[in-house]
Amino acid sequence: MLSAESLKKIDRELAKYPADQKQSAVMPALIIAQDEKGWLATETMNFVAQYLGMAPVAVYEVATFYNMYNLEPVGRNKISICTCLPCGLQGSLDAAEHLKARLGIDFNQTTADGKFTLKEGECMGACAMAPVVVVNDKKMYDYLSNAKIDALIDALSDQLGSR
């Protein structure tokens, strides 16, 4: 199901917790699985559940709770913009509208070229720096004016283009 390399990474996470509390490693294990597969299919979650000795539905609970887990395939760049109240007051709703217009997609959609997926995020703990987006659940960009958003999209497009 998962590559030996991924399993090794999961085992490394498992070693951080007592042997009878393997489920403590569920979040990193899901991240590792997602990094390999791109998204979390039912079978992938099932495998993680088995590997950690958890009920599959308990893994599903975690995977659906957090925005960083993709339960369906996403574009090569997943952009999550926080639209919670503090960010919203700081202009993130306008930023989101700009993103939608620039990419030509709505939330939870992927551009036709498969380059971008837009997600509505929950609080990222950076309210003071709103509007904020997280790209591919790993890198955060803050104080996003429309110009900075355009620059970001261009940069991300270029990265993909050069690959």
Partner 1 sequence: MLKIEIDGRQLEVPVGSTVMDATNQLGIYVPHFCYHRKLSIAANCRMCLVEVEKAPKPLPACATPVTDGMKVKTFSPVAKQAQNGVMEFLLINHPLDCPICDQGGECQLQDLAVGYGKGASRYQEEKRVVLAKDIGPLVAAEEMSRCIQCTRCVRFGQEIAGVMELGMVGRGEHAEIVAFVGKTVDSELSGNMIDLCPVGALTSKPFRYSARTWELARRKSVSPHDGLGSNLVVQVNQNRVMRVLPLENEAINECWLSDKDRFSYEGLNSPERLTQPMLKRAGQWEAVDWQVALEFVTGELRRIEAAHGGSAIGALATPHSTLEELSLLGRLARGLGSENVDFRLRQADFSADGKLAGAPWLGMPIAALSKLDRVLVIGAFLRKDHPLIAQRLRQIAKRRAQINILHSADDDLLMQIANRLIVPPLEIPVALASIRAGASGPAAAILESLKSGENKAILLGNFAQQHPQAVQIHALAQALAEATGATLGFLGEAANSVGGYLANCLPYGTQSSGGLNARSMLEQPRKAYVLLNAELELDCADPRAALGAMRGAELVVALSAFNHGAREYANVLLPIAPFTETAGTFVSTEGGVQSFHGCVRPAGEARPGWKVLRVLGSMLGLAGFGEESAEQVRDSCLAGKDVSAQLSNRAAVPIEGTAAAPKTAGGGLQRVADVPIYFADALVRRAPGLQQTKDAQPPRAGMNAKTLAALGISAGQPVRVRQGEGSVRLVAALDPGLPDQCVRVAAAHASTAGLGAMFSTLSVETLPVEQAA
User: What DSSP designation does 110 have?
Assistant: E
Q: Which residue(s) pair with 139 in the sheet? A: 135
Using the minimum distance from each CB to partner 1, give the nearer residue, 51 or 60: 60
Q: Which of 51, 60, 69, 141 lies at the binding interface for partner 1 (CB under 8 A)?
A: 60
Q: Which residues does 38 contact at the CB level (< 8 Å), separation at least 6?
A: 70, 73, 74
For partner 1, the closer CB: 54 or 152: 54
Site size toward partner 1 (CB under 8 A) is 12
User: CA–CA distance from 127 to each of 64, 67, 70, 156, 163 (Å)?
Assistant: 23, 17, 23, 24, 34
Q: From 7-15, 55-63, 98-106, 146-154, give the range in contact with partner 1 by CB under 8 A.
A: 55-63
DSSP string, 130-148: -S-EEETTTEEE-S--HHH
Give yes or no for residue 88 binding partner 1 (CB under 8 A): no
Q: Applying CB under 8 A, does 58 fall inside the site for partner 1?
A: yes
Burial class (CB in 10 A: 0-12, 13-18, 19+), 57: exposed
Of 56 and 88, CB closest to partner 1: 56
User: Binding to partner 1 by residue 19, rule CB under 8 A?
Assistant: no
| Residue 50 interacts with partner 1 (CB under 8 A): yes or no | no
In the complex, which residues of this chain contact partner 1 (CB under 8 A)? Answer: 42, 45-46, 55-58, 60-61, 64-65, 122
